[in-house]
Amino acid sequence: MSASADPRSIVITGASSGIGAALARAYAAPGRVLGLTGRDAARLADTVAAARAAGAEVVEGLFDVRETAALTAWLQAFDEAHPVDLLVSNAGVVTGLQAGRSAEVTESAFRLVDVNLKGAIATVSALVERMRARRRGHIVLVSSLAGLYAHPDLPSYSASKAAVRFYGDALRQWLKGSVEVTVVCPGFVTSPMSSRHIGPKPFEISADKAAGLIRRGIARRKALIAFPWPLVLPIWFANLVPARVADFFMGGFAAEIEPDAETARERAGGTGAP
């Protein structure tokens, strides 16, 4: 049985809530070791408690993926003790245009790229040569449907998630024959992050349902896991038709993103795009 079908040592970043927490619950079982990281102590503690209650051994890491030295040291120490079968880079944040659809605050956009893209690269970089040397393991990068076709109200988020998707595509080609690579592009999934999205959220599903879809796709070693299909199909179509036609379709998804604490501070002192 492949590592993807029955991983025994699993790392999930961004495990405090949403998809990350749901994946931790989905994989938690006796005989499994979970390495769970996050930056929200209370939420991470809840995820850890649930995984332990299901019989899993859990090692937790409380830090931000922007803390590259701490992230790398923790991941490599975990791998020394429990060689990683499945590495899920899930940590992410979202921000969007300001009120009146004015430009994003530059600091917010930079922070988003640091977390969503640089954090993913740092996560993979810490372990990829170890996994490659073992010729075993599976790397999963969580992107978004916004990484398949840009959301007009989420410029930096769309850019970061598209970059994660292409980073994963490149990794898959490089690591072919040694380490499996999967990119996940979810639609709207109920989570604290999604709750800040004010606008249409068609076909929104629970984090637990999303985790089930992702887990099945990982077990099948799929290169791309994208859902829900009622949104995926129009997005593929949008990439084939003239831009004006696709832009008309995206006009129905206008949204505002309520600022988190860091974004609120950045907006209070920021000036938007330079």
Token pair recorded at residue 215: 């887990």
Which region holds residue 39: left if phi is over 0, alpha if psi is between -120 and 50, else beta? alpha
For the range 102-106, what are the long-range contacts, defined as Cβ-Cβ under 8 Å and sequence gap of 24 or more?
102/272, 103/272, 103/273, 104/155, 104/156, 104/272, 104/273, 105/263, 105/266, 105/267, 105/270, 105/271, 105/272, 106/270, 106/271, 106/272, 106/273, 106/274
- The whole-angstrom separation of Cα 225 and Cα 221 is 10
Token pair recorded at residue 238: 């949008």
Decide if 149 is catalytic.
no
Token pair recorded at residue 4: 């993807």
Strand 197-198 vs strand 256-257: parallel, antiparallel, or unpaired? Answer: antiparallel
Active-site annotation holder among 27, 149, 157, 167: 157
Distance of CA 175 to the CA centre of its chain: 20
> Is the Cβ–Cβ distance between 54 and 27 less than 8 Å?
no
Token pair recorded at residue 125: 């970089």
- Which residues are designated catalytic? 157
